């Protein structure tokens, strides 16, 4: 049997890789513009972190984690998301003592044992940001604007920002009671999964995509009618700030997000272009999380965007991964005498920071020119016996086709 990548994982290469590089560049420049610093945490953590942080009754912890015992008998889990690890790190390093308002971003692989399909993988990548320390709606909107700026700069347009408020813990408790009552009295019509969630995680029933559940959900009480004054004021301020920023959004009263740690603002960027995997990214305020992990009372808000889905949406909207840039120089040897000098010249140009390709297959000039086309270089520099004797080189501009002979010591001034 031939060896293959594990189900739900994928290799990234070729033109798609160029699209990743462009996206990663955008993550860096947008986070820099918003003054967010990069933070990297380990790929695996103690299982306890996710159980406590995300909640045992969530899908992620209940059925999607890659959990294993290491040789020392410790239970470890490949990270399924980044917020709990970042909060763990903030607490561990007493980071907030020196940085009361902390702005961080991250990008990297996450692991969930999900049913693989287009846009849903078992190893996928997220880009995200967290604004830690502020209870105010300004920080909610700051992270939404950051995410929105990334989506726009990547060049996608066919998405919607959906917004909702989960209110405070008290609000959710009162709502939960009303919702459980309603769902219990309609349990017969619900799917098996949703019936189970009535006791484990009733708010998640609102997320269900099952046809039979949708009809019942449409008659369920709405969290918005349970919001207290402070929660309503917080939501109103978020909306007002989005309005002045000129960012459009729709209110989605059924948006709950899957994890236990959210309160007040929750949001999602959705699209109709990717079939059932319609969420490109999402996030919200997670004031309870620090306390859940033993870090005291620290308000925070953040989001994460799935990089695969972001790029799939780009591909769907643009019909491809986009052009890779034409760049650099191909140094071509004409005849055996030029083999060594070409490599000396290539080394000299690389030291000046140029992207340089040479032939390592001892091919004909014709084959080297074909190779240069494939490599999408801007210039070809040719050196043969005549050029060696005269200290010159033939320089060809691959875009215009124009070709001329210049002194070798002038090469940098033309190519750089
Ligand atoms: P979540 O925190 O679950 O809402 O995930 C945030 C974003 O990560 C989603 O909106 C998706 O874009 C992406 N994502 C989550 N799970 C997967 C997966 N299994 N495969 C690919 N992308 C995912």
Q: CA 148 to CA 260: how far, in whole Å?
A: 24
Q: For 99-123, write each residue's pLDDT tens digit.
A: 889 999 999 999 999 999 999 999 9
At 267 the pLDDT is 98
Closest-lying ligand 1 atom to the alpha carbon of residue 112: 19
Which has the minimum average pLDDT: 177-181, 230-234, 326-330? 326-330
Which structure tokens are listed for 152? 């726009």
Ligand 1 lined by 124 (C-beta under 6 Å)? yes
Closest-lying ligand 1 atom to the alpha carbon of residue 120: 20
Ligand 1 lined by 79 (C-beta under 6 Å)? no
Ligand 1 lined by 80 (C-beta under 6 Å)? no
Residue indicated by tokens 């420049």: 29
Average pLDDT over residues 59-66: 90
Ligand 1 lined by 271 (C-beta under 6 Å)? no
Distance (angstroms) between ligand 1 centre and the Cα of 305 equals 7
Residue with CA at minimum distance from ligand 1 atom 4: 282
Q: For 140-167, write each residue's pLDDT tens digit.
A: 999 999 999 999 999 999 999 999 999 9
Which structure tokens are listed for 365? 């000039």
Write down the mean pLDDT value for the chain.
94
Residue indicated by tokens 């959990």: 67
pTM for the whole thing?
0.92
Nearest alpha-carbon partner for 300 in 53, 33, 31, 1: 53
Nearest alpha-carbon partner for 331 in 366, 383, 373, 371: 383
Residue to mutate (ligand 1; options 86, 124, 129, 164; most atoms within 8 A of CB): 124
Query: In this structure, what are the phi and psi dihedrals at residue 361, rounded to the nearest 5 degrees?
Result: -115, 5
Distance (angstroms) between ligand 1 centre and the Cα of 18 equals 22
Query: Model confidence at 58, in pLDDT bands (50, 70, 90)?
Result: confident
Q: CA 63 to CA 56: how far, in whole Å?
A: 10
Query: Model confidence at 204, in pLDDT bands (50, 70, 90)?
Result: confident
Ligand 1 lined by 207 (C-beta under 6 Å)? no
Residue to mutate (ligand 1; options 119, 256, 279, 286; most atoms within 8 A of CB): 279
Q: CA 164 to CA 169: how far, in whole Å?
A: 15
Query: Model confidence at 67, in pLDDT bands (50, 70, 90)?
Result: very high
Residue with CA at minimum distance from ligand 1 atom 18: 120
Q: Is the pLDDT of residue 200 over 90?
A: no
At 223 the pLDDT is 92
Query: In this structure, what are the phi and psi dihedrals at residue 201, rounded to the nearest 5 degrees?
Result: -155, 70
Ligand 1 lined by 378 (C-beta under 6 Å)? no
Closest-lying ligand 1 atom to the alpha carbon of residue 114: 19
Average pLDDT over residues 22-26: 97
At 409 the pLDDT is 95
Ligand 1 lined by 309 (C-beta under 6 Å)? yes
Other Cβ atoms less than 10 A from the Cβ of 252: the count is 17
Q: For 330-342, write each residue's pLDDT tens digit.
A: 999 999 999 999 9
Q: Is the pLDDT of residue 325 over 80?
A: no
Average pLDDT over residues 5-28: 96
Closest-lying ligand 1 atom to the alpha carbon of residue 122: 19
Ligand 1 lined by 315 (C-beta under 6 Å)? no
Residue with CA at minimum distance from ligand 1 atom 10: 281
At 56 the pLDDT is 83
Residue indicated by tokens 């033109």: 15
Q: Is the pLDDT of residue 277 over 90?
A: no
């Amino acid at each position: 049997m031939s060896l293959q990548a594990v189900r739900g994982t994928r290799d990234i290469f070729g033109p798609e890789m160029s699209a990743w590089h462009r996206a990663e560049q955008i993550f860096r420049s947008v986070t820099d513009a918003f003054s967010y610093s990069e933070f990297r945490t380990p790929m695996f953590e103690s299982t306890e972190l996710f159980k406590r942080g995300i909640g045992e009754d969530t899908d992620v912890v209940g059925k999607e984690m890659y959990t294993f015992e290491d040789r020392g008998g410790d239970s470890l889990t490949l990270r399924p998301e980044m917020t709990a690890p970042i909060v763990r790190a903030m607490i561990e390093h007493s980071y907030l003592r020196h940085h009361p308002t902390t702005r961080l971003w991250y990008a990297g692989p996450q692991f969930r044992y999900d049913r693989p399909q287009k846009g849903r993988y078992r190893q996928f990548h997220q880009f995200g940001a967290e604004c830690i320390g502020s209870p105010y709606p300004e920080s909610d909107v700051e992270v939404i604007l950051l995410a929105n700026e990334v989506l726009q700069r990547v060049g996608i347009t066919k998405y919607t920002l959906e917004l909702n408020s989960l209110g405070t813990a008290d609000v959710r408790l009162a709502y939960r009671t009303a919702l459980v009552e309603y769902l219990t009295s309609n349990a017969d019509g619900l799917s098996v999964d949703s019936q189970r969630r009535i006791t484990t995680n009733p708010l998640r029933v609102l997320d269900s995509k099952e046809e039979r559940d949708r009809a019942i959900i449409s008659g369920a009480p709405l969290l918005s009618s349970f919001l207290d004054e402070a929660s309503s004021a917080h939501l109103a301020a978020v909306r007002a700030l989005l309005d002045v920023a000129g960012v459009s959004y729709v209110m989605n009263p059924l948006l709950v997000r899957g994890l236990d740690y959210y309160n007040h603002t929750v949001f999602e960027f959705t699209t109709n272009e990717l079939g059932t995997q319609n969420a490109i990214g999402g996030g919200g305020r997670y004031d309870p999380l620090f306390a859940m992990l033993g870090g005291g009372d620290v308000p925070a808000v953040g989001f994460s965007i799935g990089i695969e889905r972001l790029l799939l949406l780009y591909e769907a909207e643009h019909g491809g991964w986009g052009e890779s840039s034409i760049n650099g120089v191909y140094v071509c040897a004409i005849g055996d005498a030029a083999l060594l000098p070409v490599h000396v010249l290539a080394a000299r140009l690389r030291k000046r920071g140029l992207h340089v390709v040479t032939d390592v297959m001892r091919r004909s000039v014709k084959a080297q020119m074909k190779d240069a086309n494939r490599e999408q270089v801007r210039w070809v520099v040719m050196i043969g016996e005549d050029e060696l004797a005269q200290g010159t080189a033939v320089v060809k501009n691959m875009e215009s086709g124009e070709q001329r002979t210049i002194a070798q010591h002038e090469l940098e001034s033309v190519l750089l």
